[in-house]
Amino acid sequence: MHSLLLLTVVYMFSVNADDEKHDCKTNMTVEADKPITIGCPVTVTGEIFWRRSDGPVATKDKEYLVVAENRTLTILKVDQVHSGDYVCYNADNDTATLTVCVRPYVKQYDKPKNVIEGDPFQVECTAWGYPAVTVEWSFEKNFTDVGDRLIFKNGTAGMNSVLRIEDMKYEDGGEYTCTVTNVLGTNNATIQVNVKDKLAALWPFLGICAEVAILCVIIFLYERRRAKRLEKEANMTEETDHMTANNDTKVSDDVRHRK
């Protein structure tokens, strides 16, 4: 891949078989970190229970709120673990399955990333949704010989897409965007990557060295000037003392002559 106007690579997250059996109705679709209430459509009277594929819903848990009178289950804050199928049932095992679907979520990057030229660069796109999402990476500028340096791999728990570029070049600096998509919509996050010269890390140290050198020169010149001034003052003091001594001798001789 010699040159691209726009580098776009699609990386599909691994999908469980259950993820494909979705029924994403409007009243059961939610944004990440938001609450959602689902109602049990079982019409037979009697107490309603809730479970998921991994076991009963812990109704005493602070994550859920069950209102028996309304036959509803509220998820107070939908996280990745809360998406998927829920089954409501009664004592006679009359059941109904409801699917909680989540629009694509992607964690935003909070600050730019600085990379020294020649070092590797790696960035992770933390994203999820239900049904499963795809991640598409794009770069705003041309890439030269990127094929040998570009690597994609799974991130934490196999649900995060990781982009890695070996031996970063100055022209690799720019905006990198991961776009996350499922049947419910699209979301994205962009990170600014700054590629700095190899000597960039030395500039602060060299600046400190220069400041110290200048300070030493200033101190040296000051001390030298001060030494000359002290020497001059000392010479003037000696001359004054000598003149005073001569005057004292002359006065003493005049006094003796008068006697």
Q: Which residue has the tokens 């909070």?
A: 110
Sheet containing 7-12: give its strands across. 7-12, 134-139, 174-182, 185-196, 113-116
Alpha-carbon distance of 75 to 83, in angstroms, equals: 10
Alpha-carbon distance of 95 to 142, in angstroms, equals: 55
pLDDT, average across residues 191-207: 81
Of residues 11 and 206, more confidence is placed in 206
Alpha-carbon distance of 245 to 251, in angstroms, equals: 10
User: Do residues 65 and 27 lie in contact, with contact meaning Cβ atoms separated by under 8 Å?
Assistant: no
pLDDT of residue 239: 64
3-state helix, strand, coil in the chain (%, to 5): 30, 40, 30
pLDDT of residue 157: 47
Q: What is the pLDDT of residues 125-146, one digit of tens each?
A: 999 999 989 898 888 876 666 6
Of residues 162 and 252, more confidence is placed in 162
Return phi, psi of residue 204, to 5°.
-60, -40
Average model confidence (pLDDT) for the chain?
Answer: 80
User: Does the structure show a pLDDT above 80 at 10?
Assistant: no
CA angle 249, 254, 259 (to 5 degrees): 130
pLDDT band at 45 (very low <50, low <70, confident <90, very high): confident
Residue 140 CB-density burial (10 A; 0-12 exposed, 13-18 middle, 19+ buried): middle
Question: DSSP state, 216?
Answer: H
Return phi, psi of residue 156, to 5°.
-55, 130
Alpha-carbon distance of 218 to 221, in angstroms, equals: 5
User: Do residues 97 and 57 lie in contact, with contact meaning Cβ atoms separated by under 8 Å?
Assistant: no
User: Do residues 130 and 79 lie in contact, with contact meaning Cβ atoms separated by under 8 Å?
Assistant: no
pLDDT of residue 14: 34
pLDDT of residue 9: 34
Tally Cβ neighbours within 10 Å of residue 255.
Answer: 9
pLDDT, average across residues 6-15: 34
Say which amino acid occupies 163. L
pLDDT of residue 11: 32
Of residues 58 and 256, more confidence is placed in 58
Q: What is the pLDDT of residues 201-258, one digit of tens each?
A: 676 777 888 888 898 888 888 888 888 787 777 777 766 666 665 655 555 555 555 5
